[in-house]
């Protein structure tokens, strides 16, 4: 084998997702893209809000000398200051630019954080269903992923967590609003997780970091709110992205924010900056860093996503599908009527509906339906879902 | 220690460079930026060429739906096609889009290539003086860096290479025009390196990749040319960047190009695409990918850099400094008149001149002088260099 054994193995493990994508691409070519209902990926259909276009235009029409050059590896001070101000406002905690590192999206942020923290063999806990890339990110830096089950509402179980955290545990990753389930964790739950981690730190004499991946923080429905993790553990680190809330996932822009108490954690922030550099990101893209600076309070229309959720959720429930109503993000995670979720995916594929099997999220027996698509796709997929529901006698 | 032992160690090892930077920043604050002659970093002073601004404006003023969304992890087909066409033109070899992966700069490209190739303990050979980040990049993915000396002109020695390549050797990295020495490798040398690698592959029954980091390819003086490596080894991989030749290092845009024969190498290209994803880059920034598409033949003014080189080189030689005339990139690498290059750096610092010690490039006893700065900085530094030359009785 010419390429790394580990990369090769990981590619094979993930390759059935790729196969689905490829089959989807072939299908689109064969019957026309407009006849395929692609609910497989989280590539938001919504365009960035007008404020983004305005800000970008302003910059491009009035270029400043040096605006495309290297800056500090942590990112522009002005952008970090804007993030810190916004976080201070939202949390009541006093953030400053030294608590923020601009990154190539949340994926870049997570890799930087995990590289900085992880010794070979350190354990990082995640809760299934989970964004499977976490497993790759943890493995990239020598960590061991420990996947914990959740309850029937996809909510972490504290006793399971308590029994799992060990002296080798370096971090716990939570992701709310959750990809793929759409659930939003309550303040009480986050508090309990933080408290439990603190207790375990005392027990083992270690430092355990609570990493909150908040890529979907702003996409929450029904007036709910995702609580700030910072109030619940002093060693909490937020990784965030402008991909979803500003609709620009291709531009690779996000940040790491560490609890101001982490200034006391030896080498942590300079570790992030160093790893941002040596992992080859060097810095978050310059131009877009400048653009997002003034967009801290801007979001794509959440109401539109909520409408899409309501539309698809009510139809699927009416057809007899069993699913938890998602409270955020733009995914739902219905139960597969067949034990084999991949087989069920193929049933839907017969009706030109593309979805992702739950096993792609460490949680077989469900499927992920991404509804960040045009309304015409949501309307078009109903017939297929209905036919399949009938075949499986769901109603 | 809360952070990874390895990261912590690497930060300490590199920390004297950081200390220099920090001292420089303090100096600038104390005596004013205009009184500091900062020749320490390779942050090109030249603005992107007008074609870049034009193309960017055109895109921003006529936004297309979805232009900030995810695309294939390999990058836009149109951009990859433009790179492939340009490479076909330059090499006479038939590249297509499947040979190209767009990346977050050359640093991203190198990390992706090394992650894809390296099993723990695999050896990767580099020639000193070398861009020290190579050591971090190799270590990121479990490889072992093997640093080979070069001759008095900073040129690799074939007998040393021959004696070093082993069954554990996965890749040889060359970097020409070279950072920090400015030398450009001859076609004959590249051919001999390729031939030697091929011989060793046969001997050991392995595949050994020749990785050519060509971030400075277009910045070459005196009508010289850096030969195409693709003609000299079928398993050659080029990592490239638009940072230097379009003057936009902050935007993080570059690519991997693999020899078309690599299509036969099991999993290589899909490994690159997979690693581009799992390392958290996901894809090269979308907007700038579109911009560089049509700029394949555009470069900042190389003549201006050559003028800067001529100016500084002739003055330093006249003062008695011993240095090889650089043929490319925008660095020169004079010999330190003291054995301790860090001590010599401090001598120059007395005259508010900031440079980087050779040990920062695995080659003590020299200093790196970056001349991609304003002419006023080059003019201003002469007095200090003169005083130091006099102190050390160089002339």
Residue A147 parent element (H or E): strand A144-148
ipTM of the complex: 0.96
- Tell me the C-alpha distance between B393 and B383, whole Å: 15
Phi/psi at A125 (5° precision):
-95, 135
Residue A62 parent element (H or E): none
pLDDT in tens, B151-162: 999 999 999 999
Structure token pair of residue B377: 């900085």
Q: Cα A324 vs. chain centroid, distance in angstroms?
A: 19
Edge-to-edge strand order for the sheet containing B236-241? B100-103, B254-258, B236-241, B209-213, B169-175, B123-127, B144-148
Q: Please check whether residue B338 touches A, CB under 8 A.
A: no
Q: What is the pLDDT along chain B (395 residues), one digit of tens a residue?
A: 689 999 999 988 776 666 777 778 889 999 998 999 999 887 888 899 999 999 999 999 999 999 999 999 999 999 999 999 999 999 999 999 999 999 999 999 999 999 999 999 999 999 999 999 999 999 999 999 999 999 999 999 999 999 999 999 999 999 999 999 999 999 999 999 999 999 999 999 999 999 999 999 999 999 998 999 999 999 999 999 999 989 999 999 999 999 999 999 989 999 999 999 999 999 999 999 999 999 999 999 999 999 999 999 999 999 999 999 999 999 999 999 999 999 999 999 999 999 999 999 999 999 999 999 999 999 999 999 999 999 999 98
Structure token pair of residue A178: 């959750």
Which of chain B's residues have a Cβ under 8 Å away from the Cβ of A8? Answer: 267, 271
Of A1-10, A11-20, A341-350, the range with the lowest mean pLDDT is A11-20
Reported as half-sphere exposure (CB side, CA atoms, 13 A), residue A10 has a value of: 25
- Cβ pair A252:B283 closer than 8 A: yes
Q: Please check whether residue B50 touches A, CB under 8 A.
A: no
Q: Please check whether residue A259 touches B, CB under 8 A.
A: no
Which of chain B's residues have a Cβ under 8 Å away from the Cβ of A104? Answer: 104, 252, 280-282
Å from A391 to nearest chain B CA?
A: 35
Å from A333 to nearest chain B CA?
A: 22
Bond preceding residue A180 cis, omega within 30 of 0: yes
Q: Please check whether residue A167 touches B, CB under 8 A.
A: no
pLDDT in tens, B271-296: 999 999 999 999 999 999 999 999 99
Work out the angle between the directed axes of helices B50-61 and A50-61 (0-180°, nearest 10).
160
Å from A198 to nearest chain B CA?
A: 15
Structure token pair of residue A338: 């067949």
Q: Please check whether residue A250 touches B, CB under 8 A.
A: yes
Cβ A341 vs Cβ A364: under 8 Å? yes
Beta pairing, strands B367-370 & B331-332? antiparallel
pLDDT in tens, A31-76: 998 999 999 887 888 899 999 999 999 999 999 999 999 999 999 9
Three state DSSP letters for chain B: CCCCHHHHHHHHHCHHHHHHHHHHHHHHHHHCHHHCEECCCCCCCCCCCHHHHHHHHHHHHCCCCCCCCCCCCCCCHHHHHHHHHHHHHHHCCCCCHHHEEEECHHHHHHHHHHHHHCCCCCEEEEECCCCCHHHHHHHHCCCEEEEECECCCCCECHHHHHHHCCCCEEEEEEECCCCCCCCCCCHHHHHHHHHHHHHHHHHHCCCCEEEEECCCCCCECCCCCCCCHHHCCCCEEEEEECCCCCCCHHHCCEEEEECHHHHHCCCHHHHHHHHHHHCCCCCCCHHHHHHHHCCCCCCCCHHHHHHHHHHHHHHHHHHCCCCCCCCECCEECCECCCCCHHHHHHHHHHCCEECEEHHHHCCCCEEEEECCCCHHHHHHHHHHHHHHHHHCCCC
Mean pLDDT of all residues belonging to chain A? 95
- Tell me the C-alpha distance between B112 and B53, whole Å: 29
């Amino acid at each position: 084998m010419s390429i790394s054994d580990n990369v090769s193995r990981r590619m094979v493990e993930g390759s059935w997702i790729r196969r689905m994508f490829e089959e989807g691409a072939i299908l689109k070519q064969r019957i026309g893209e407009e006849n395929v209902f692609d609910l497989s990926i989280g590539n938001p259909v919504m365009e960035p809000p007008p404020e983004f276009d305005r800000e970008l235009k302003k910059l491009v029409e009035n270029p400043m000398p040096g605006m495309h050059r290297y800056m500090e590896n942590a990112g522009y001070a002005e952008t970090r200051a804007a993030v810190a101000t916004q976080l201070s406002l939202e949390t009541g905690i006093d953030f400053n630019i030294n608590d923020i590192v601009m990154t190539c999206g949340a994926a870049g942020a997570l890799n930087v954080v995990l590289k900085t923290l992880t010794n070979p063999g350190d354990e990082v806990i995640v809760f299934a269903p989970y964004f499977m890339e976490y497993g790759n990110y943890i493995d990239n830096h020598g960590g061991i992923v420990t996947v914990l089950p959740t309850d029937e509402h996809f909510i972490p179980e504290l006793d399971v967590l308590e029994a799992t955290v060990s002296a080798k545990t370096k971090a716990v990753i939570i992701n709310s609003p959750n990809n793929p389930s759409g659930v939003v964790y309550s303040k009480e739950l986050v508090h309990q997780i933080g408290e439990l981690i603190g207790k375990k730190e005392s027990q083992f004499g270690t430092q355990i970091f609570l990493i909150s991946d908040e890529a979907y923080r702003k996409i929450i429905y029904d007036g709910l709110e995702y609580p700030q993790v910072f109030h619940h553990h002093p060693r909490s680190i937020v990784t965030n992205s402008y991909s979803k809330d500003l609709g620009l996932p291709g531009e690779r822009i996000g940040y790491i924010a560490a609890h101001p108490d982490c200034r006391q954690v030896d080498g942590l922030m300079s570790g992030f900056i160093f790893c941002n550099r040596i992992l080859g990101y060097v810095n978050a893209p310059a131009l877009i860093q400048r653009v997002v600076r003034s967009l801290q309070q801007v979001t794509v229309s959440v109401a539109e996503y909520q409408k899409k959720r309501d539309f698809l959720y009510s139809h699927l429930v009416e057809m007899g599908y069993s699913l938890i109503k998602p409270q955020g993000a733009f995914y739902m995670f219905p139960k597969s009527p067949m034990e084999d979720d991949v087989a069920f995916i193929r049933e839907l594929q017969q009706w030109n509906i593309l979805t992702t099997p739950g096993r792609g999220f460490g949680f077989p027996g469900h499927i992920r339906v991404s509804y960040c698509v045009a309304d015409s796709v949501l309307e078009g997929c109903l017939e297929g879902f209905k036919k399949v529901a009938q075949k499986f006698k769901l109603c």
